[in-house]
Each structure stands twice: as structure tokens, then as C-alpha cells.
Amino acid sequence: MKRDVILTEVALRDGSHAMRHQFTEAQVRAAVAGLDAANIPYIEVAHGDGLGGSTIQYGRSLTDEFKLIEAAVETAKHAKIAVLSLPGIATKPDIKRAADLGVSMVRVATHVTEADVSLKHLAYSKELGLETVGFLMMSHMAESREIVEQAKIMVNGGADVIYIVDSAGALLPNQVMDRVQALKQEIAVPIGFHAHNNLSLAVANSLAAIEAGAERIDGSIRCLGAGAGNTQTEVFVSVLDKMAIQTGVDLYKIMDVAEEIIAPILPQPQEITRGSLVLGYAGVYSSFLLHAQKAAEKFGVDSRDILMEIGRRKAVGGQEDMILEVAAELQKA
């Protein structure tokens, strides 16, 4: 079937943040089996911070991520398994091990102004015969012109697809359209969009991206993702179906996966809390939320104050240590 929009399901990677990286092999197998039966074309599986993310700084995984990846590959009959690679956290041996396990796609993520950091991982992934995606995180922190230049670096480095990533859930629909349209005008490869729902705009922003020409969209079933989650897959499929936009996904089956497989394992409902709302308002990386809540409890301060200060300092992914520093300063203030 021809798909007008190609979906990548990210709950088994981005949702790792909300699960505090406690996914079990049985949970991954059940989720992949359901998603595969619903005809989801790509399923991303990894630690929330990508390959190699199971550390004290980012959070230890309950189950070795490569066991989860192996379980996903073994379970999927049609869907392709993807992984996330953040240079500086992931290494080339991590990518090789994932490739040997049978993954099909590597999404190489960098801060939106640091695309040059992706080049070694993109080149190596291409050598291994993998589909490659350039993942420009925190895209609200750069204007369209700069994003185009950064995307060109990734395309020249071998990226088959370029994603605008709203890591903080801070973009508005018109800003998404501006960025996607700018890329469509100057980039020859397909454009994708990854939303977070911290301002309750994930579905709206994903629709804006499609209207502007995006062909790849990320979803997280039951909204399972960092912060307030991502574009809710089963909801988004329903909306696209009403708009006669083809995804190839079975609507009833994806609803059943959300209700019967994912909902029972959620630590808590994915909703827009005051903390996740501040993420979008202040433009803070969505995976910072749980770290800020822990620091707030430890130092006896308000997690919102931590996140607002983090936003003022324009912290990016990988600077989680700054959270404790800010919390300690607020305690003394």
C-alpha cells in the first residue's frame, strides 16, 4: 500500500524516559507484536537517550538495551526496527552491535546547531547498509535558515531523511510550517517531524508539518514519551484517516494496542502536568523533567523554578548535570 505519511513509533525509545528506563523484554515483545500487526512501518527501540544511554547520568536500564533490540527484531514480522544514536553517548561499536542484531535504521541526533557532530555516525551507518536519519533536536532554538544549513551538512554526510525535532514541545504550528517549508525548498531528501505535547500541540504541529510537505512523522502510542509525551499514535492515525491521508496503519488494531498492551504498563497517565507545561513554555528538553523533579525533592525547591532557569540558560541535551547545579543555587538563594 502506498503511504502518504510514513509513521515511526517511538514509545519504546522516547517512552523509556516516562518508564524510567524500566522496560522489560516481555513488554517490548508484546508491544512490538501489536504494533507490527497494526502495520506500523518503523518501531524505534532503545534507551531514552539512545544507544549507550544506560548510565548513572541518564538513568540505568532495567534490561540491557541490546536485549530489548534483539527481542524487537525477533518479534517484528514486517516492521523495521530503528535505534537512536547520540554521538558522545553512543559509539560506533554500539551501532555495529545494533546492526548485527538486525536493525534497519539509525537516527543520528545532534543539537540543532551541531550537525557536524553527526558525520562519523552517519558515514559508519551507511557503510553498514543502514537507512540513516539526521535528527535535529531542540529545533525551536534555531531559525529556519540556520536549520537548512545544518540539514545540508547531514545530507552531504549521508542522511537519507532529515527530521525537525521539537524536543521541548515549544514550537507553534506556524513555526513548524516555516521550518518544514524551508527544508522542502532546499533539501532533496524526505523531511520528518518529531513532536512533544508539552503545549498540547503535538497533533496540530504534526498536521502543520504534513501540510508543509513532511513525509515522515513520529508517534508514541498512548502518548508514551518524555515530558507530556509525543504525538499520540492512535489519535493521529484516526485524524489522518478522517483526512483521507494514507498511513497503512490498521485503526482498530492500533487502538487495541494502546488500550490493552500499553495502558496497563504506564507508571501514570501521560498528561500535561505543571512540570511538562513549563518544559514547553520555557523551551527545555523534555527528558529533563524527571531529573528536575528529583532535584527539586532533594534540594527542597520548586521544579518549575529549576526548569525556568534551565530554559534561560538555553541548556541542551547532555547537560543534565546543570539541573543539580541550578537546584543547589536556588536552595541557597
Domain residue ranges of the chain, discontinuous segments joined by +: 6-265, 287-332
Tell the CATH topology of 287-332.
Answer: Helicase, Ruva Protein; domain 3 (1.10.8)
Question: What predicted TM-score, i.e. pTM, was given to this entire model?
Answer: 0.94
Q: Is residue 1 very low, low, confident or very high in pLDDT (cuts 50, 70, 90)?
A: low
Mean pLDDT over 280-285 rounds to: 92
pLDDT of residue 56: 85
CB distance 134 to 122 below 8 Å: yes
* Residue 194 is assigned to a ligand binding site: yes
| 17 catalytically annotated | yes
Q: Which of 17, 21, 121, 140 is catalytic?
A: 17
Does 285 appear as a known binding residue? Answer: yes
Residue 271 and residue 202 in contact, taking contact as beta carbons nearer than 8 Å: no
pLDDT 10s digits, 155-195: 999 999 999 999 999 999 999 999 999 999 999 999 999 99
List residues bridging with 7 in a β-sheet. 217
Q: What is the pLDDT of residue 317?
A: 74
Segment 108-116 shows an average pLDDT of: 97
Q: Known binder of ligand: residue 196?
A: yes
Domain 6-265 architecture: Alpha-Beta Barrel (3.20)
pLDDT at 319 (0 to 100):
81
Query: Residue 84's pLDDT is what?
Result: 98
pLDDT at 256 over 80: yes
Instruction: Confirm whether residue 14 is marked as ligand binding.
Output: yes
User: DSSP string spanning 5-52?
Assistant: SEEEE-TTTTHHHHTTT---HHHHHHHHHHHHHTT-SEEE-S-TT-TT
Q: What is the mean pLDDT of residues 207-217?
A: 98
Residues in Cβ contact with 293 at an 8 Å cutoff, skipping those fewer than 6 apart: 275, 303
**The predicted structure's pLDDT at residue 304:** 93
Beta strands in the chain (DSSP E): 6-9, 42-44, 80-85, 105-111, 131-137, 161-165, 191-194, 216-219
> Could you give the CA distance from residue 167 to residue 160 in angstroms, rounded to a whole number?
21
